[in-house]
Amino acid sequence: MSFDMNDAEPQKSGDLIADGSFAKVIMTIRPGGVDGDSEIDRGLLKTSGTPGSDVKMLDAEFTVAEGPYARRKFWQVLTVSGGKLDDAGVSIGWKISKSTIRAMIDSALGLDPKDMSEAAKAKRVLRGLADLAGISFVAKIKVEASSNGRYGDSNKLDHVVVPTEPEWRKVMDGEVVPPAPGPKSRPKPALTVVAKPAWGQPASAPAASWSRPATTAPAKAPEPPPAKPAGPAWLNG
Could you read off the pLDDT of 45-73 as tens digits, one per residue? 999 888 999 999 999 999 999 999 999 99
Rounded average pLDDT over 25-38: 96
**Residue 172: helix, strand or coil by DSSP?**
helix
CB 33 within 8 A of CB 46: yes
Residue 232 falls inside a structural domain: no
Half-sphere exposure of 6 (CA within 13 A, CB side): 2
pTM of the model: 0.74
pLDDT higher than threshold 80 for residue 118: yes
Residue 95 falls inside a structural domain: yes
Residue 14 falls inside a structural domain: no
Domain span holding position 179: 21-185+195-223
For residue range 75-99, list pLDDT tens digits in order.
Answer: 999 999 999 999 999 999 999 999 9
In the chain, where does DSSP find H-type helix?
A: 92-109, 118-123, 166-172, 233-236
- Cα 54 to chain center, whole Å? 25
Q: 141 φ, ψ to 5°?
A: -110, 135
Residue 103 falls inside a structural domain: yes
Q: Tell whether the torsion through CA atoms of 108, 114, 119 and 125 is positive or negative.
A: positive
Beta strand segments in the chain, E: 21-29, 46-47, 56-64, 73-81, 136-144, 154-161
pLDDT recorded at residue 207: 40
Total tally of structural domains belonging to the chain: 1
Residue 7 falls inside a structural domain: no
Residue 234 falls inside a structural domain: no
